[in-house]
């Protein structure tokens, strides 16, 4: 006496790629730790704007982890040295050594890139 099971590859592939199906659940399970680590690595309040979603169906299904903070691109890519000028003819106000200073413009030395999103992918996967 024998038992036989036939697996239809087309049906199996459809089941894996169906929205809300096994493939999407596995993708979400793998992406959640990446989003959580990105929230930990993000500077300041930037982690509050980390979102994760799954898009597409079939072979094009992908998890997207995004930072929606307006300064994200500057943090991830870094900035070159640049001037910062006061808007509308007003002054910039800042404190140096306990003294409050007002200037129409200052020179910013730039910032080093902090690609916390790529680092989260490397560490969480």
How many angstroms separate the CA atoms of 52 and 120, rounded? 13
- DSSP character string of 85-115: E-GGG--EEEEETTEEEEESEEEE--B----
pLDDT score of 15 more than 80: no
Whether 23 shows a pLDDT value over 80: the answer reads yes
Residue 112 phi/psi, 5-degree rounding, is -75, 145
Domain ranges of the chain: 9-80+111-124
- pTM equals 0.75
Q: Are 41 and 120 in contact (CB under 8 A)?
A: yes
pLDDT beyond 90 at 65: yes
11's tokens:
């049906």
Q: What is the mean pLDDT of residues 63-75?
A: 95
What tokens appear for 7 in the block?
């697996």
HSE value, Cβ hemisphere, 13 Å, CA-based, for 108? 13
Would the pLDDT of 58 be above 70?
no
Beta-bridge partner residues of 62? 55
């Amino acid at each position: 006496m024998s038992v036989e099971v036939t697996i239809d590859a087309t049906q199996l592939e459809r089941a894996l790629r169906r929205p809300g199906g096994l493939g999407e659940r596995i993708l979400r399970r793998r992406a959640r730790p990446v989003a959580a680590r990105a929230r930990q690595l993000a500077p300041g309040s930037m982690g509050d704007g980390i979102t994760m979603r799954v898009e597409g169906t079939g072979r094009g299904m992908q998890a997207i982890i995004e930072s929606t903070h307006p300064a994200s691109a500057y943090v991830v890519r870094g900035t070159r040295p640049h001037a910062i000028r006061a808007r509308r003819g007003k002054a910039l106000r800042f404190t140096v050594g306990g003294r409050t200073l007002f200037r129409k413009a200052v020179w910013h030395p730039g910032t080093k890139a902090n690609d916390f999103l790529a680092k989260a992918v490397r560490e969480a996967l």
